[in-house]
A and B are shown apart, each in its own frame.
Chain A
Amino acid sequence: NAGVTQTPKFRILKIGQSMTLQCTQDMNHNYMYWYRQDPGMGLKLIYYSVGAGITDKGEVPNGYNVSRSTTEDFPLRLELAAPSQTSVYFCASSYGTGSGMNTEAFFGQGTRLTVV
């Protein structure tokens, strides 16, 4: 099983450039998430989705956009890259049902993004 797959693993962007971070999962999970991780700050939720066609903002959505056209894919778009977006980005997925046994999140390996 591939689980959650993120591409690319590393990327350097210039200020003002745009890019899309790709995320796909093969576990048929309804819920998908994008987090950013900064040193000493833990993980902050950027956007999440509870199913195809449904997305919502997390704690730090500014400067990002998402879409969820299929159950498997949840890309994250940076339109105008800024140095403050230098971070490690993690995609995750979970069943997200009413049963606590199914709320475990599975994480991708991360994308390390540097904006210069």
Chain B
Amino acid sequence: AQSVTQLGSHVSVSEGALVLLRCNYSSSVPPYLFWYVQYPNQGLQLLLKYTSAATLVKGINGFEAEFKKSETSFHLTKPSAHMSDAAEYFCAVTDSPYDRGSTLGRLYFGRGTQLTVWP
């Protein structure tokens, strides 16, 4: 089974500052990777996904993430934070499509990172 580690359960930045949310996965075979955002009392919304195409993935709301196989990482960044970015962010991975017996579509989630944006 996959595991996902999100470093930092809480991240605080000032409005206009760089946002960096960290995510590392455990698989030696590259899985598919996702970042989801959850606003208060809402469900999860997909920000972006990596599915073995370009390693730099652009998502909604100005977010992007870079897949680094050598570091087993998929960190989420945004050059300039906005107040509306305050939310909880989850990194998730699927089983690798190259693993026999994998269940594609089954997602493993990190514990989440709460992003606070100060004015």
A-side residues, CB < 8 A to B, are 4, 31, 33, 35, 40-45, 48, 50, 56, 58, 90, 92, 94-101, 103-110
Contact = CB atoms under 8 A, between A and B. Distances in A.
B90 A94 contact: no
B111 interface: yes
B3 to A, nearest CB: 11
Interface of B: 4, 9, 32, 34, 36, 41-46, 49, 51-52, 90, 94, 97, 103-112
Chain B interface SS verdict (over half): loop
B107 A105 contact: yes
B107 A90 contact: no
A76 B97 CA distance: 28
Given A42-B111, A96-B104, A103-B51, A108 B43 contact: yes
B109 A103 contact: no
A76 B46 CA distance: 24
B43 A110 contact: yes
B43 A104 contact: no
